[in-house]
Structure 1
Amino acid sequence: MSKYPKKPQHLVAHIVVACCMAVLFSACQKEKPENPHNTWTHYGGSPDQSKYFDAGEITKENVSQLEIAWFYPTADDTPYFFSPIIVDSVMYVMGKHSSLIAVNVRTGKEIWIHANLNGLTRRGLNYWESKDKKDKRLIFTISNTIQAINAETGESILGFGTDGYVDLREGLGREPSSIRRIQPMMPGVIFEDLLIIGSAPGENYFSAPGHVRAYNVVTGNLEWIFHTVPQPGEFGYDTWPKDAYKYVGGTNVWSEISIDTQRGIAYLPIGSPTYDYYGADRIGSNLFGNSLVALDARTGKRLWHFQTVHHDLWDYDIASAPQLLTVNHQGKNVDAVAVATKHGFVFVFDRVTGEPLFPIEEKPFPPSEMLGEQAWPTQPIPSLPTFTKQEVTKETLNPYFPDSIRQVWLKRLENAKSGIYIPLSDKHENIAMPGALGGANYGNTASNPTNGMMYILTQEHASIYKLNKVEPPKVDLSANDLQRVQTLFNSTCQTCHGKDMAGGSAPAIRYAGQYLFYDDFRNTVINGKGQMPGFVHVDEETLKAMYRYIGGNPATMNFRRNLEPKIPDGPVVASGGATIKPDQNKVAPMSDYPEDIEHPAERYTTDYGLDWPGLAAPPWSSIVAYDLNTGKIAWRRPVGQDSLYVQGDQSKGAPGGTLRKGMIVTSTGVVFATAKGGKLYAFDADNGELLWEQTMSHEVNAQPSMYMLDGKQYLVINATSNFTRDSYNHSKKPGAMPRGYVVYALPAKK
């Protein structure tokens, strides 16, 4: 493992290739489609994820007249985060105990219900149709698989993949059965006959790698894979320690992938490598972590990239959709891609070449205090103004704090460090602003692709971090059980597994109970595995004591939630999706480095430090409009409603809370936005003037949708979530609506 950081592989070295690409793509553009922005068949409206809708009925002048046109109740108490898509006169929603439902938007009546799709990706699904429109499919992920449903009948397509599904755990360089979590929270994106999809493998040590893949929507065949943690011989491999791809996880796309359909380019917003806050086992700049990567959408070939954070130690994923828009730059129209980050920066590039449109400077930042850690000495700082605070000071503390709390925080600030890119430590607190839930998250960017305006929902949410050494689990064993463990380990296990269970010729096992089911542990000890012989003489009580000693709990570790299928009222056509075959030989999740890998002696972790979301002064949430023709913020408005530490009338509170909300931008200059407290707003896109405001009966935690039918324009809001304890509960008001999808339109003309 190198003791010295390598220089990051910058885009400049590839500028000649990029310029050739510009000529190539300009010559090869396909015929422009009719209008990709007057339907809502993708999560973000269209493949570019702009949330832009081109229609003329709802305007700045009449938006305040919007009223509820119809309503679809979900008919249960489940909060759904699902973003509806609309195809022709059919809207697809989730409701009725995790059922997928097709609703006729003319009548509001159910067409079909596919019941009991527990585990379906929470945020939405994809629609695809063949050129002759005879084959119409809904493509989605569920229980770590991809499945397809006939969009007209609601029945599973069992010819897709193998027996109706594709196992997303396969092809990642790990034993598939050892991967407990991989399916994304977002639906991916459809381009031509491909589903391009990211993942959410978790953020622990040894999580699965987040390679981006494309699957054929008809056959389910894997068409290409882009290794976000490069493998030997691939570009970027030398920005990691040797063989890091064998144990590093994350580095995944867990938000929205944007597609330039004319050029066939996919833009990937890639997140942090694991472990997020301590990187002594991944010395280097760590491509393609925290990078915007442009790929040929048909082949998965990298075209260009830019890394927004080198060797991330702060969980500063790129977590929102890259926005594709045309800007007037230095007197010329340039097709650009802009990305907003969790830590409050906006980066803007030529969409084809990857050249920055506004200067980006590598600036020095402090080294790490942690033994073995090597924070990258510089970080890229764009010249555009930031959209969040980036530190907490005594002067910016929440003025609503009671004096007792304020005095505690004044003292804590004296001993803590706050500011951008200060590496975490085990010696003091780091107060990160924004923190793990700050800045721009998924669903939090939108744009008008035609005029260079980009809109961001941002949250001022601090995290308080402090690294702690990962210690063997503390176990409360009786003296008798402890003696059993020591006798067994010293006589049978220590020779291979090493002193203190830290590893030797066999892997370390001091944390294994946190990953292994008891049955798997017991089977391995008694029957052996690989080069390990079986020890049939070990009695059950000793096995349970040993299992507890390495962090397991025999009474609870094998518990699996068994959801009883429920058949809802209505036109149910199927239940449960394709049948997923159980693993024949289940392998425990990876819990230690491969035997031949040099690695740090210790691991460190921290929690997300989210106990004080209102640490700084409000507003805690805003909508920010950037004019990317000039690189300036055009306007900013506070949004949301949060009662955190606010004295007086708790139903009013202070502005705050936008995490994973959404927007719609219309061609008539209206920006619809949702925020905490069930808030729905309409702003003037040019100056931020508030044109209309509604408070929903339930919280809104999904991307809004919009559609046209018979010349009339409709706005769809998913209002099914619970209000948090620091929000006023509007569902308790007299006349409050039940959970459901609320559809707004202008009054009928008389």
Structure 2
Amino acid sequence: MIKNKWFYFFRIVLLTIVMASITIGCETGTKKSLEHTTWSHYGGSPDQSKFFESPGITKSNVSEMEILWSYPSGDDRFYFFSPIIVDSTMYVLGKNSSLIAIHARTGEELWIHTDLPGITRRGINYWESEDKKDKRLLFTLNNSIQAINAETGKSILDFGTEGYVDLREGLDRDPTSVTRIQSMMPGVIYDDLLILGSAPGEAYFSPPGHIRAYNVVTGTLEWTFHTIPHPGEFGYDTWPKDAYKYVGGANVWSEISVDSERGIAYLPIGSPTYDYYGADRLGSNLFANSLVAVDARTGERIWHYQTVHHDLWDYDLSPAPQLLTVDKDGKKVDAVAIATKHGFVFVFDRVTGESLFPIEEKPFPKSQMPGEESWPTQPITSLPSFTRHEVTKENLNPFFSDSLRQDWLQRLDSAKTGLYVPPSDKYETLIMPGALGGANYGNTAADPYNGIMYIQTQEYASTYRLSKVEPPKTELTANDVGRVKSLYNSSCISCHGPNMEGGAGPSLKNIGHHMFYSEFRNTVVNGKGVMPGLVHVDEASLKALFQFLGGDPERRNFRRGNQEVATVDGPVVASGGVAIPSDAQRGAPMEKYPEDVERPKARYTTDYGLDWPGLIDPPWSSILAYDLNNGSIKWRRPIGVDSLYVQGDESKGAPNGTQRKGMVITSTGIVFATAKGGRVYAFDSEDGSILWETTLSNETNAQPSMFTLNGKEYLVINATSNFRSDSYDHSKKPGAIAKGYVVYGIPDKK
């Protein structure tokens, strides 16, 4: 294992020689030469390492970084979009949900395809043909896949059926009953395939999260990997008979990693539905909560490992699997590592699936819920955990008021806490980490050559208590404003404010004028971001609430075609993508079990229990370097700032400080990381010392990007979100720049 400055020096020399042999800003034509030198994929490269060959920005000059230019997002919406850069063009999401091509050195607008509400929130894909004559952007939009010409910004109408592919098809459900399937993540490109996950929701009877690959030119479905196996397929016997007909989830809603050289895709598969009560899915439930290696060309399973059996805690595998070469017992091994929500790291031989460190199946408490059969053991790796697993009287937040502390001491007397304690309807369970704890999407990166994985993590507990699902209430009418206000006050006011003007969540003032009922319904029922889904609200209540917020439930979502509009200033070339099926073609979501399957006598649910991000003592959020050559944590540092408890003391980190954040790792030994409070850091990869830091004028909720143009390197950060109420509002500071995409670099010497 090489861990010194000479390694970085020789790598810089080698890269300089390689870069000198190609035309600046143009691609070289081979996968290997392109890897980690461009940022044309979400996560940099298909391996999702967020690693970038950056010879120009070093430990000695990174402190000179400044804002070189910025591009305003143009409205008050939040954009979670991670820019990609191809040659001299950067693609961003901005004003009026527009996809915008800008010059990567100046921010000059090249074209705008406006009015794309419902587009993949966190990024898009770029593909080009070998002769570079066909360049296209691929993304999901309102449960469809669409393609746009990367040079003109106009929709490609011969893609799929009249320009789109319907993602609701082929999911073991009536397609018209599927209200939500597209993922907020863009998927990943391998050769001429778009490999795509999904986000079908987490309610009972949600669609299954089968992984699918589509031809980027024709839109043809090339293969499907059934995450909930069909009869005769491997893993079918780990579920009840015909479970694939009614169980949902087991989806990849985050980042898929690809070993492009070997043609292997690594799928971090999430939890099955329903997350917290599994009496209708008895068994270990393959391939839920599993890291699965598949042939990227065919979708055939190569190997798998399940990190949680019969999940009852929403322990999705959500961060990107990291592909690294490690020095194990004196031998170089190409490995894949996955970090989890519950604070463990599992490391496997990338080809065989053999674990590189011991894993032991250990017994855990049995569920007492009727009909439930929790799995008796769970896999525990020998590697050190990077989170705590229990809420105790001793580790309660020391900054709580005396009265709040007394309340929690009483709650702990009757609650149960600890790793893998099953949820119950008889007592409260305090699960540490909870649904948003540990490592989440965007929170892993790697130096693929040195065997070091970087993890952003947060100590975030969830509080659960199951309750029986009751029959829906039907007495509420659309005009019963008083009851609607009661619903708002009980479920919405804490985040959206007493006057709907926002707080922890965005403003809802007249939101009904800006979205269709189907979009509103999907958000409320299925949740979005940190907002949990309100699965018990009946249809009449939802429509009444939508009217209360200024909407018309009968206004249909007839999408406009590819016509030009003038609602956005700038070089608008098209609007709305291509026409997709309207709401009139949608049926009711699946609401009951098929007639021919066994089912539990009752169903139970709980909310996500996310009310207490700072429940235990600090540090609440951290970044750490995990040395996978020897299985040790090399260094760890708190990140993020908090104004609720410690008034900006950065030694404590911040509650919920790494959610929706990300990293860029450079070949020169720098770890760029974002954190709560608009913080941007440059850490020394060797010891975690801070080399440079700054504070954005607005919050960032996206993966940073990095690129080289004309021999100069740039770091791009999306700063388009509002600060939460428990963060300092830096948008009001002197010299604050407008919401937008901020580009940092080392200024040219005069």
**For residue 343 of structure 2, what is the aligned residue in structure 1?**
344
Q: Cα distance, 1:76 vs. partner?
A: 1.1
Deviations 1:464-513 (A, max 9, x none): 000001112345589xx9xxxxxxxxxxxxxxxxxxxxxxxxxxxxxxxx
1:306 Cα deviation after fit: 0.0
User: CA offsets per residue over residues 587-618 of structure 1, 9 Å max, x none?
Assistant: 21000101111100100000011111110001
Distance in 2 of aligned mates of 1:69 and 1:704? 16
Where does residue 720 of structure 1 map in the other structure? 720
Distance 2:220 2:226 in 1: 17
With over 3 angstroms needed to count, the CA separation of the structure-2 counterparts of 1:586 and 1:98, relative to structure 1, is closer
**3-state SS of the aligned residue for 1:321?**
coil
Q: How far off is 1:267 after superposition? A: 0.0
TM-score when scaled to structure 1? Answer: 0.85
Matched, 1:230 2:224: no
Q: How much does 1:645 deviate?
A: 3.4
Q: 2:684 maps to which residue?
A: 684
Aligned partner of 2:75 in structure 1 is 76
Q: CA deviation at 1:106?
A: 2.9
Q: Which residue of 2 aligns with 1:511?
A: none
Offset of 1:107 from its aligned partner?
Answer: 2.9
CA contact (8 A) 1:177 1:583 kept: no
Checking the alignment, whether the CA contact within 8 Å between 2:41 and 2:188 is kept in structure 1 is yes
Q: Does 1:385 align with 2:379?
A: no
SS at match of 1:686: coil
Within 5 Å, which residues of 2 pair with 1:106-505? 106-474=105-473
Report the CA distance shift for 1:650/1:635 in structure 2 as closer, same or farther (over 3 A).
Answer: closer
Q: Deviations over 1:614-663 (max 9, x none)?
A: 100011100011000010000000000122334xx469794111102000
Do the aligned residues in 1 keep the contact of 2:642 with 2:653 (CA within 8 Å)?
Answer: yes
Contact 1:642 1:653 in 2 (8 A): no
Q: Any conservation in 1 of the 2:661–2:674 contact (CA below 8 Å)?
A: yes
Whole-Å separation in 2 of the counterparts to 1:112 and 1:32:
28
Q: Is the 8 A contact 1:115 1:566 kept in 2?
A: no
**Alpha-carbon distance between aligned partners in 2 of 1:277 and 1:589, rounded to the nearest angstrom:** 21
1:683-731 deviation digits (Å, cap 9, x = unpaired): 0001100111101000010000000011111100111101111111110
What CA RMSD, in Å, does the superposition of the two structures yield over aligned residues?
2.1
Q: What is the aligned partner in structure 2 of residue 666 from structure 1?
A: 666
Q: Which is higher, the Rg of structure 1 or of structure 2?
A: 1
- 1:122-152 CA-to-partner distances (Å, cap 9, x unmatched) read 0000000000000000000000000000000
Counterpart CA distance in 2 for 1:151 and 1:619 is 44
SS at match of 1:141: strand
Partner of 2:711: 711
Q: Give the secondary structure class of the aligned counterpart of 1:623.
A: strand
The answer as to whether partners of 1:672 and 1:680 remain within 8 angstroms in 2 is yes
Matches for 1:593-632 after TM superposition, within 5 Å: 593-632=593-632
Query: Which residue identity is paired with 1:256?
Result: E
Query: How many Å apart are 1:584 and its aligned residue?
Result: 6.0
Q: Which residue of 2 aligns with 1:103?
A: 102
Partners of 1:477 and 1:678 lie apart in 2 by: 43
Aligned to 2:694: 694
Q: 1 CA distance for matches of 2:472 and 2:253?
A: 31
Shift of residue 549 of structure 1?
A: 9.4
5+ residue gaps in structure 1?
A: 1-29, 482-515, 518-547
Deviations 1:50-96 (A, max 9, x none): 00001211011111100111111111111110000000000000111
**Cα distance, 1:477–1:85 mapped onto 2, change above 3 Å:** closer
Q: Give 1:259's aligned amino acid.
A: V
CA distance in 1, matches of 2:538, 2:141: 35
Residue 53 of structure 2 is matched in structure 1 by 54
The residue number in structure 1 matching 2:532 is: none
CA distance in 1, matches of 2:621, 2:543: 44
**CA separation of 1:554 and 1:660: change in aligned 2, threshold 3 A:** closer
What SS does structure 2 have at the residue aligned with 1:414?
helix
Question: Do the aligned partners of 1:454 and 1:626 also contact (CA within 8 Å) in 2?
Answer: yes
CA distance in 1, matches of 2:476, 2:455: 53
Residue 743 of structure 2 aligns to which amino acid in structure 1? Answer: V
Counterpart for residue 44 of structure 1: 43
Q: 1:132 to 1:261 in 2, by over 3 A?
A: same
Distance in 1, Cα, partners of 2:567 & 2:585: 32
Distance 2:192 2:583 in 1: 30
Whether contact under 8 Å (1:84, 1:93) holds in the other structure is yes
Secondary structure at the counterpart of residue 91 of structure 1: strand
Assess, with a 3 A threshold, how the Cα gap between structure 1 residues 477 and 586 changes in structure 2: closer, same or farther: closer
CA contact (8 A) 1:116 1:566 kept: no
1:35 is displaced (CA, Å) by: 3.4
Trace 1:545-564 onto structure 2 (pairs within 5 A). Answer: 555=544, 559=553
Is residue 313–residue 424 contact of structure 1 (8 Å, CA) maintained in 2? yes
Distance 1:299 1:95, change over 3 A: same
Contact 1:472/1:550 (8 A) holds in 2? no
CA drift of 1:463 comes to 0.5
Identity %: 70
CA pair 64-135 structure 1, distance change in 2 beyond 3 A: same
Q: What is the letter of the counterpart of residue 350 of structure 2?
A: R
8 Å contact 2:423–2:466 — kept in the other structure?
yes
- Three-state SS of the structure 2 residue aligned to 1:731 is helix
Unmatched segments (≥5 aa) in structure 2? 1-28, 481-516, 519-536, 547-551
Please give the alpha-carbon distance, in whole angstroms, between the structure 1 residues aligned to 2:717 and 2:737. Answer: 13
Compared CA separation, residues 428 and 555, structure 1 to 2 (3 A):
closer
Alpha-carbon shift at residue 340 of structure 1 (Å)? 0.3
CA–CA distance in 2 between the matches of 1:586 and 1:105? 41
Residues 372 and 566 (structure 1), Cα distance of their counterparts in 2 relative to 1, 3 Å cut: farther
Find the residue that maps to 1:607 and give its secondary structure: coil
8 Å contact 2:640–2:650 — kept in the other structure?
no
CA 599–336 in structure 1, closer or farther in 2 if over 3 Å, else same = same
For residue 376 of structure 1, report the CA deviation from its aligned partner.
0.1
TM-score normalised to structure 2 length: 0.85
Equivalent position SS for 2:413? helix
Secondary structure at the aligned position of 2:32 is classed as coil
Structure 2 CA distance for partners of 1:75 and 1:468, relative to 1, 3 Å: same
Of 106-115 and 562-571, deviating more is: 562-571
Q: Letter of the aligned partner of 1:43 in structure 2?
A: Y
Equivalent position to 1:655, from 653, 656, 659: 653
What SS is found at the alignment partner of 2:706?
strand
Shift of 1:737: 0.7
Partner residue in 2 for 1:495:
none
Q: How does 1:726-741 map to 2 (within 5 A)?
A: 726-741=726-741
Compared CA separation, residues 307 and 549, structure 1 to 2 (3 A): closer
Q: How many residues align?
A: 653
Contact 1:473 1:551 in 2 (8 A): no
- Counterpart-to-counterpart distance in 2, 1:335 and 1:652: 37
* More divergent stretch after superposition (653-662 vs 185-194): 653-662
Describe the shift of the 1:234–1:612 C-alpha distance in structure 2 as closer, same or farther (beyond 3 A).
same
SS in 2 for 1:112: strand
* Per-residue Cα deviation, 1:2-24 (whole angstroms, up to 9, x for no partner): xxxxxxxxxxxxxxxxxxxxxxx
Name the CA distance, whole Å, in 2 between partners of 1:316 and 1:628. Answer: 22
Deviations 1:183-218 (A, max 9, x none): 001000000000000000000000010000000000
Partners of 1:252 and 1:60 in 2: how far apart? 40
